[in-house]
Amino acid sequence: EAGVTQFPSHSVIEKGQTVTLRCDPISGHDNLYWYRRVMGKEIKFLLHFVKESKQDESGMPNNRFLAERTGGTYSTLKVQPAELEDSGVYFCASSQRGSPLHFGNGTRLTVT
Amino acid sequence: AQSVTQLGSHVSVSEGALVLLRCNYSSSVPPYLFWYVQYPNQGLQLLLKYTSAATLVKGINGFEAEFKKSETSFHLTKPSAHMSDAAEYFCAVSFPTGNQFYFGTGTSLTVIP
């Protein structure tokens, strides 16, 4: 089966610009998660979708971050406007209920 | 509150030596525990998982981990390190009642020839 795919793999933008990250989960996985790792720190939860519904968005840093999962398939995470502290690696993961997470390769975001 | 602590952000071992990566968790309910590995420029891959069955769990690539409730630990071991084991390792915890996973800060393993 195809794994979780993320696009782009790298993004370099200037402070104040907008960036949209995309995640395609494994087909049939209802659960989709976004995580972020800032350099040297732990992987932190951002939010969790079950199908197209936001189950938990308690980890979203602020209202500059907007995640969507229209139709319950792929998801996008938009950062607008980007700030320097948003730099990091953004991981997407998907799972069936009760199963381990399957991760994508991540998007490395650099805000300059 | 739930959390995961990985002692040692960097660990170096000689090729052929024992690998020991430490993970302790805090939880008010019985947890599920996982070890993930991240090779350079790749996503996280599941190494092994504990979900309340046998306390000694065997994973891929010769790794294993033992759940010790009394010590709230889930340390990862491998008897003999190989050069290809060089990667970053993450311990994670989740719970049967929910879908959220909590990760440690990661341990970078270097294998010295």
Q: Identify the pLDDT of residue A2.
A: 77
B97 touches A: beta carbon within 8 Å: no
Q: Identify the pLDDT of residue B2.
A: 62
Q: State what percent of residues in chain B have pLDDT above 70.
A: 96
Interval B43-85: pLDDT, tens: 899 999 998 778 899 999 999 999 999 999 999 999 999 999 9
Nearest to B43 among A42, A95, A105 (CB): A105
Q: Report chain A residues whose CB lies below 8 A from the CB of B100.
A: 45, 48, 56
B43-50 contacts at long range (C-beta below 8 A, 24 or more positions apart): B43/A3, B43/A4, B43/A6, B43/A91, B43/A103, B43/A104, B43/A105, B43/A106, B44/A43, B44/A91, B44/A93, B44/A101, B44/A103, B44/B90, B45/A103, B46/A100, B46/A101, B46/A102, B47/B76, B47/B89, B48/B76, B49/A100, B50/B74
Q: Do B102 and A35 touch (CB under 8 A)?
A: no
Q: Do B90 and A55 touch (CB under 8 A)?
A: no
pLDDT, average across residues A36-64? 91
Q: Which of A112, A110, A111, A106 is nearest to A8 (CA)?
A: A106
